[in-house]
Amino acid sequence: MEIRRDVFQAIADPTRREIIDLVAHKSLNLNSIAENFDVSRQAISLHIKILTECGLLVIRQQGRERYCEAQFKKLHEVSEWVEKYRVLWNKRLDKMDGLLNELQAGNKKRNKKQHGLNKNR
Amino acid sequence: MEIRRDVFQAIADPTRREIIDLVAHKSLNLNSIAENFDVSRQAISLHIKILTECGLLVIRQQGRERYCEAQFKKLHEVSEWVEKYRVLWNKRLDKMDGLLNELQAGNKKRNKKQHGLNKNR
DNA sequence: AATTTGCGCAAGCAAATGCTTGCGCAAATA
DNA sequence: TATTTGCGCAAGCATTTGCTTGCGCAAATT
């Protein structure tokens, strides 16, 4: 068991993202989750299976009910991948700001050239 | 044109994530990108199409070559979704730390009860 | 003990995904 | 001008995905 699933693949589906949103703050059993969607219980059950297989959810069996608890640790993988670009993307914004400022400065008047300002972003 | 694609869906595929990694620092034309993979050029072309359709890539046509440039702004959507859980997931770690400490304290000796310490994380 | 409730298993199916190969065009090179 | 190069378009195909419905079991309720 425990088929290594890809987290990125798991959160690709909007329904699965909603499921995570739902159980983020308090555990819910499968049927309570399914109530929030207009697909069959079975469909939701499958989504939950996928989410547990990749470690984003953990099931606590309690009698005949299965409570789903979010497991955020696994989101770290996604976070890492995205955040490594944050530096670059801030840099790009800076550059754009710079260009905009140059343009504005140029339009308003051709004197008082401001250059390389606006590094705060 | 411009079929609104889901960013989450786009980055679900490992090849597409690799493509983004490749062009993160410098633009590359399609064939240079395709060289890095052992699938056909056409397959890569399709991946790139998907990436541009959701705004993660921008194409600059230059003669007969098409240079792919990463567009990190769109990653913000992913970042936002993931990061909103960071608080929760840190909180959970705190709780676990707390439990661990209680256990340790309990094991070592049954006196000197430390409770609710270790809030620093 | 009989019924209801929660949920997994499995089959079946349409649509989407990822890939390939072959064709053709327009820009660059010879 | 003839050939090469970069790349899109389109058809075809195997998997995968997401969903449904029906069955059945075990825990809870009556």
In the prediction, which pLDDT does B88 show? 86
> Cα–Cα distance between B80 and A75 in angstroms, integer?
12
Q: Give the residue, B40 or A93, on which the prediction is more confident.
A: B40
Q: Which of the four pLDDT bands, split at 50, 70 and 90, describes residue B102?
A: low
B112: pLDDT strictly greater than 50: no
- Chain B nearest CA to A51, separation (Å): 14
In the prediction, which pLDDT does B94 show? 63
**A-chain residue closest to B73, CA distance:** A89
Q: Give the residue, B39 or A106, on which the prediction is more confident.
A: B39
pLDDT tens digits for range B67-79: 999 999 999 999 9
Closest CA to B21 of B39, B5, B36, B43: B36
Q: For residue B36, what are its two tokens?
A: 């890095």
Find the residue closest to D17 using CA and C1' atoms. A13
Q: Give the residue, B48 or A98, on which the prediction is more confident.
A: B48
List all nucleotides in chain D with at least one atom under 7 A from a protein Cβ: 5-10, 17-22, 26-28
> Cα–Cα distance between A44 and A22 in angstroms, integer?
13
Question: Looking at beta carbons, which pairs linking A90-94 to residues 24 or more positions away fall under 8 Å?
Answer: A90/A121, A92/B72, A92/B73, A93/A121, A93/B73, A94/A118, A94/A119, A94/A121
In the prediction, which pLDDT does B113 show? 38
pLDDT tens digits for range A10-49: 999 999 999 999 999 999 999 999 999 999 999 999 999 9
8 Å CB contact between B24 and B56: no
A117: pLDDT strictly greater than 80: no
Q: Name the pTM for this structure.
A: 0.79
